[in-house]
């Protein structure tokens, strides 16, 4: 029993009585040894994150391979079922079988759930990962959501995850109602089907997955002149691609001068890419893929593709008829992607903005990039350059593998530029295609599966691992050495 008359020591004070021999080393409880076991480990987190994501893909692929989800009641080839599951979970949208023609309502529900898990999971990001690992880490351990930002505890990360969940469901619900009302009012579908079509398209657009129910691999071509559908889909795509953190900062501060540096860079890069993409598509495709579009709708179609090319993946014109210059420009736009912490893919707008700022600082003779009255740390520039370099190398490897598997150079083989565009779409988890996806060989489909998976989990795990590694302080510095460049 505890003697009430005996004075109690504060909880933080711990007295240890121990006889120590000369030269003996002891470890105190609560010291560095214990802390080292509870500090989050980047490779372990990355491994668990990838394995969990792979489990979702395998489960979805298994369900889609059964006759229970196919419209004709027959089992789907495993490679096509796996490809669809990877594409949906990675929020890509590339398909080897048409969604509306091949799958029944149960299959469409499985695809919708995979899109929602993939999109929402990446918006919530590492907050959910640490929640899953709460038995291994204490509340004192921190999660850095952005470079240079204060650390968030797990409780704060859970609160942020809840707000992201509410934002996601509210946005998708609003989009579903807006689309369902139009589908029902247009007379194209009865109320039940109109509602399902609106829900499916809304989730697909917000998650930047680009799955559709139009049939015949047509994407949104039947709605190329429908202003309402174009505007709603574009708004949903941007809501998912700009991230909750960016939109919340813009909505709460409401003044450009008070925006966070990341918000300014993301919005500026986003605006530039939309304007440049719209002008380029309109100029290059006026008499090609836009030839069958009415003149008044061509600017709308160009703006729509400039928005969706960054990660949305929807198309209102046949990109198989697009010129080589357009495919090359859009490949670069796809690889840039959306904002960090969003449903979009690519190397992210902030990453590209940091590298562009560093290039500008080098040309001006500055030691470090300075934008909007803030200095960007050199380690952050190195991480951004590393992510872009790794992404470019992965794209080159995927293009080479597709060229090998599809026999580039033969008369019946897809062109190298089409394979280049397909690899960029898969790696950036975009979904735009020139129409060659269903005609790929089994090996080519597996290459794209690996590319989509890498493009989804690669940048997040790479940035996290690089950030953890660069936090280690070097004990010494080597002498400088001169290297000739240029």
Looking at residue 468, what is its pLDDT? Answer: 55
Which residues constitute the domain of residue 393? 40-141+151-470
Looking at residue 125, what is its pLDDT? Answer: 59
Mean residue pLDDT of the chain comes to 82
Looking at residue 129, what is its pLDDT? Answer: 47
Here the contacts of 246-255 (C-beta below 8 Å, separation 24 or greater) are 246/339, 246/342, 247/167, 248/163, 248/167
Q: What percent of the chain has pLDDT over 90?
A: 56
pLDDT at 240 over 80: yes
pLDDT at 43 over 90: no
State how far the Cα of 229 lies from the Cα of 178, in Å rounded to an integer: 9
The verdict on residue 280 lying in a domain is yes
Q: Residue range 436-464: average pLDDT?
A: 84
Looking at residue 302, what is its pLDDT? Answer: 95
Largest Cα–Cα distance of the chain, in whole Å?
A: 95
Looking at residue 174, what is its pLDDT? Answer: 97
Q: Which residues of 255-268 are buried (b: 16+ CB within 10 A; e: fewer)?
A: eeeebbbbbbbbbb
In DSSP notation, 389-422 reads: HHHHHHHHHHHHHHHHHTTBTBTTSPPHHHHHHH
pLDDT at 165 over 50: yes
State the residue for tokens 């150079």: 409
pLDDT at 384 over 50: yes
Q: Which pair of tokens denotes residue 25? A: 């080393």
State the residue for tokens 């009302």: 181
Q: Mention every residue, 6+ apart, whose C-beta is less than 8 A from residue 93.
A: 87, 204, 209, 210, 211, 313, 314, 430, 431
The verdict on residue 24 lying in a domain is no
Looking at residue 144, what is its pLDDT? Answer: 39
In DSSP notation, 234-287 reads: HHHHHHHHS-HHHHHHHHHH-SGGGS-HHHHHHHHHHHHHHHHHHHHHHHHHTT
State how far the Cα of 54 lies from the Cα of 187, in Å rounded to an integer: 41
Confidence of residue 267 (pLDDT cuts 50, 70, 90): very high
Looking at residue 164, what is its pLDDT? Answer: 87
State how far the Cα of 197 lies from the Cα of 180, in Å rounded to an integer: 7
Looking at residue 154, what is its pLDDT? Answer: 57
Looking at residue 480, what is its pLDDT? Answer: 77
Q: Residue range 186-213: average pLDDT?
A: 91
Range in 34-38, 349-353, 438-442 with the lowest mean pLDDT: 34-38
pLDDT at 260 over 50: yes
Q: Residue range 112-139: average pLDDT?
A: 62
The verdict on residue 480 lying in a domain is no
State how far the Cα of 441 lies from the Cα of 432, in Å rounded to an integer: 19
Supply φ then ψ for residue 374, to 5 degrees: -130, 150
The verdict on residue 315 lying in a domain is yes
The verdict on residue 171 lying in a domain is yes
Looking at residue 469, what is its pLDDT? Answer: 57
Supply φ then ψ for residue 293, to 5 degrees: -95, 135
pLDDT at 285 over 70: yes
Give the count of beta carbons closer than 10 Å to the beta carbon of residue 99: 21
Range in 80-89, 224-233, 263-272, 476-485 with the lowest mean pLDDT: 476-485
- Number of domains present in the structure of the chain: 1
Looking at residue 467, what is its pLDDT? Answer: 56
Higher pLDDT, 447 or 343: 447
Looking at residue 130, what is its pLDDT? Answer: 40
The verdict on residue 21 lying in a domain is no
Higher pLDDT, 464 or 10: 464
Range in 192-201, 303-312, 316-325, 470-479 with the lowest mean pLDDT: 470-479
The verdict on residue 310 lying in a domain is yes
pLDDT at 478 over 80: no
Q: Mention every residue, 6+ apart, whose C-beta is less than 8 A from residue 186.
A: none
Q: Residue range 130-144: average pLDDT?
A: 39
Q: Residue range 143-170: average pLDDT?
A: 66
pLDDT at 405 over 80: yes
Q: Residue range 394-412: average pLDDT?
A: 85
In DSSP notation, 338-380 reads: S-TTSS--SS-HHHHHHHHHHHHHHHTT-SS-EETTEEPPHHH
Does pTM top 0.75 for this prediction?
A: yes
Looking at residue 410, what is its pLDDT? Answer: 66
Strand partners, 408: 410
Looking at residue 470, what is its pLDDT? Answer: 56
The verdict on residue 484 lying in a domain is no
Q: Residue range 104-110: average pLDDT?
A: 95
Looking at residue 463, what is its pLDDT? Answer: 57
| Distances from the Cα of 94 to the Cα of 229, 287, 329, 341, 432, angstroms | 21, 26, 19, 22, 7
Give the count of beta carbons closer than 10 Å to the beta carbon of residue 230: 22
Looking at residue 135, what is its pLDDT? Answer: 37
């Amino acid at each position: 029993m505890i003697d009430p008359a005996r004075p109690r020591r504060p909880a933080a004070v711990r007295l240890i009585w121990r006889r120590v021999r000369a030269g003996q080393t002891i470890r105190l409880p609560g010291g560095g040894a214990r802390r080292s076991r509870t500090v989050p480990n980047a490779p372990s987190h990355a491994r668990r994150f990838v394995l969990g994501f792979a489990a979702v893909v395998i489960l979805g692929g298994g369900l889609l391979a059964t006759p229970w989800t196919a419209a004709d009641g027959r089992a789907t080839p495993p490679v096509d079922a796996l490809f669809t599951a990877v594409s949906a979970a990675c929020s890509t949208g590339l398909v080897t079988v048409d969604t509306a023609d091949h799958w029944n309502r149960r299959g469409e529900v499985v695809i919708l759930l995979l899109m929602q898990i993939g999109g929402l999971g990446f918006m919530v990001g590492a907050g959910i990962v640490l929640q899953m690992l709460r038995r291994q880490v204490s509340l004192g351990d921190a999660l850095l959501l952005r470079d240079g930002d204060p650390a968030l505890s797990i409780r704060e990360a859970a609160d942020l995850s809840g707000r992201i969940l509410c934002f996601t469901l509210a946005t998708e619900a609003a989009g579903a109602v807006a689309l369902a009302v139009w589908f029902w009012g247009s007379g194209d579908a009865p109320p039940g089907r109109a509602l399902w079509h609106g829900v499916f398209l809304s989730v697909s657009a917000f998650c930047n997955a680009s799955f559709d129910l139009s049939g015949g691999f047509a994407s949104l071509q039947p709605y190329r002149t429908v202003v309402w559908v174009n505007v709603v889909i574009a708004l949903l795509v941007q809501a998912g691609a700009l991230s909750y953190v960016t939109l919340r900062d813009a909505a709460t501060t409401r003044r450009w001068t008070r925006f966070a540096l990341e918000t300014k860079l993301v919005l500026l890069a986003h605006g530039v890419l939309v304007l440049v993409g719209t002008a380029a598509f309109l100029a290059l495709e006026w008499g090609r893929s836009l030839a069958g579009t009415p003149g008044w709708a061509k600017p709308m179609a160009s703006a729509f593709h400039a928005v969706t090319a960054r990660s949305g993946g929807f198309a209102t014109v046949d990109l198989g008829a697009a010129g080589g210059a357009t495919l090359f420009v859009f490949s670069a736009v796809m690889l840039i992607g959306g904002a960090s912490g969003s449903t979009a893919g690519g190397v992210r707008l902030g990453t590209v903005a940091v590298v562009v700022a560093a290039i500008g600082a080098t040309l001006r003779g500055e030691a470090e990039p300075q934008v909007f009255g803030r200095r960007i740390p050199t380690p952050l520039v190195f991480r951004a350059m590393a992510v872009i370099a790794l992404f470019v190398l992965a794209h080159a490897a995927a293009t080479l593998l597709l060229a090998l598997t599809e026999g580039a150079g033969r008369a019946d083989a897809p062109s190298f530029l089409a394979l280049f565009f397909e690899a960029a779409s898969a790696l950036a988890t975009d979904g735009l295609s020139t129409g060659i996806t269903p005609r790929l060989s089994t090996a080519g489909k597996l290459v794209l599966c690996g590319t989509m998976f890498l493009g989804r989990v690669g940048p997040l795990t790479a940035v996290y691992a690089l950030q953890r590694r660069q936090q280690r302080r070097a004990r010494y510095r080597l002498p400088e050495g001169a290297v000739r460049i240029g």
